[in-house]
Amino acid sequence: MHAIEARRVSKAYKDSRHVALNNVSLNVEPRKIFTLLGRNGAGKTTFIRICATQLMPSAGTISVLGYDVLKEPSKIRNVISIVPQEGRPLRALTPWDHVYNWLQIRGEDKKVAREKTENILNKLELYEAKDMPAMNLSGGMKQKILVAMAIATNAQLLFLDEPTIGLDPVSRRQVWSAIKDWKKEGGSILLTTHYMDEAEMLSDNIVIIDNGHLIAKGTMRELRKFIPQNIRVDIAKDGIDVDLLRSYGSIVDTGTDTIRVFTFESTIKELSEFALKRNLSFTISPITLDDVFVSLVANSVGTVGHNDLID
C-alpha cells in the first residue's frame, strides 16, 4: 500500500481565477521521503492540505494510508502529523508544554510522553529553553517547537511544509537528522522545501509542480538527467563576448555578474584556459538539483502532457 495515492487531483479555490492544482497524480511510497518542489504558488501547500484533510479537492481521488480523504478523514487524522507552513506556537506555552500536551492529546501515556518530549527537545536543542514561554523564544526556536511536536508523535505519515524555514545551518541539520530517524523507524514523509540542498540531502523521490501541474518526477539521479551535461562553470562576465562561450556548452543567463556554462568534464581544461587568458575568475562545480529545478521550471509550459511521466 502506498502512503499516499493521488489520482487526477484538482483544486480550484472559490475566489481565485487560478486552478491551484490541475490533474495531479502521484504515489508516495511508504517509509520514504517524498519531496514536492515548486515555485511560490505552485500548489504544494494546497496538495498537503488536501492530503491532511484540511481542504477538499475539487476533483480526483486521494487515499492516505489506505483511507479515502473524503470518506474517512478522521481515520487519516489519527495517523498523520503535520508541520504547517504558517504555524505558530502559542505565546504563553513553553516548548515542553507544546510537545508533552500534544502527545497526551494524541493518547500517549504520561511516562512515554515524558520520555519522547525529553528526547525530541534534546535532539533539537530546545531542552535548555524547555520552560520558557514561546513568546520569549527566537523565530527559529518557535519553528523548532512545531517540528518537535510533529516528529515526537507516533504517526505513520509526516507532512513537513517548509520545516526548516528560518533555521540556522546547525539547527537545519538537527531537523534533517530527526527526519531521517523518523524514516528509520518506519515512518513516511511528504516534504516541501525551497532549499535544494535539503531536497538533495533527504529525498528518496522528488516531484516538481508548476502552476498546479506535475511537470517532472523521479529520484535525484533521474532528475539530474534532465540536464545532459554534468559540470557547470561560472565565469565572470567582465565584458566578454558571450557568443565565444557557446562552443563550450549551453549558456545559462543567471542574471548575475557571471555567465554559467553547462558542459562536460572534457571541456574543463579548454574553458579554464579561456578564462585564464582573459584574467577572468571562474568556478567549476557539478550540476545540482538547483540547476535542474531552474531549467525545468523555466522551460515549463504547464501542460498536462507531462503526466505521462507518472507510473
Ligand X SMILES: Nc1ncnc2c1ncn2[C@@H]1O[C@H](COP(=O)(O)OP(=O)(O)OP(=O)(O)O)[C@@H](O)[C@H]1O
Taking the alpha carbons at both ends of the chain, their separation in whole angstroms is: 15
Question: What are the residue ranges of helices labelled H in the chain?
Answer: 44-51, 73-79, 95-105, 110-123, 139-152, 169-184, 196-202, 220-224, 268-277, 289-299
Q: Which of residues 85-144 bind ligand X (CB under 6 A)?
A: 85
- What are residue 232's DSSP bridge partners? 262, 285
228 and 291 Cβ atoms separated by less than 8 Å: no
Of 1, 40, 243, 247, the residue at the interface with ligand X (CB under 6 A) is: 40
Helix (H, G, I), strand (E, B) or coil at 244: helix
Q: Is the dihedral of CA 208, 214, 219, 225 positive or negative?
A: negative
Binding site for Mg ion (CB under 5 A): 44-45, 85
7 and 197 Cβ atoms separated by less than 8 Å: no
Q: Which stretch, 42-50, 92-100, 279-287, 294-302, contacts ligand X (CB under 6 A)?
A: 42-50
Give min distance, CB of 76 to Mg ion, in A. 20
Give min distance, CB of 57 to ligand X, in A. 12
Give min distance, CB of 106 to ligand X, in A. 26
Nearest to 147, CA basis, from 77, 64, 88? 88
Q: 94 vs 164, which CB is nearer to Mg ion?
A: 164
Contact flag: residue 160 with ligand X (CB under 6 A): no
Residues in the chain, overall count: 311
Contact flag: residue 13 with ligand X (CB under 6 A): yes
Contact flag: residue 58 with ligand X (CB under 6 A): no
Contact flag: residue 18 with ligand X (CB under 6 A): yes
Task: Indicate the pairing of strand 80-83 with strand 67-68.
Answer: unpaired
- What are residue 5's DSSP bridge partners? 27, 63
Distance CA 167, CA 173 (A): 9
Give min distance, CB of 213 to ligand X, in A. 12
Of 25, 35, 46, 164, the residue at the interface with ligand X (CB under 6 A) is: 46
Of 1, 16, 253, 255, the residue at the interface with ligand X (CB under 6 A) is: 16
Give min distance, CB of 116 to ligand X, in A. 29
Give min distance, CB of 30 to ligand X, in A. 24
Contact flag: residue 272 with ligand X (CB under 6 A): no
Q: 51 vs 124, which CB is nearer to ligand X?
A: 51
Q: Which stretch, 41-49, 219-227, 233-241, 278-286, contacts ligand X (CB under 6 A)?
A: 41-49
Question: Vertex 22, ends 84 and 61: CA angle to 5°?
Answer: 75
* Site of interaction with ligand X (CB under 6 A): 13, 15-16, 18, 20, 38, 40-46, 85
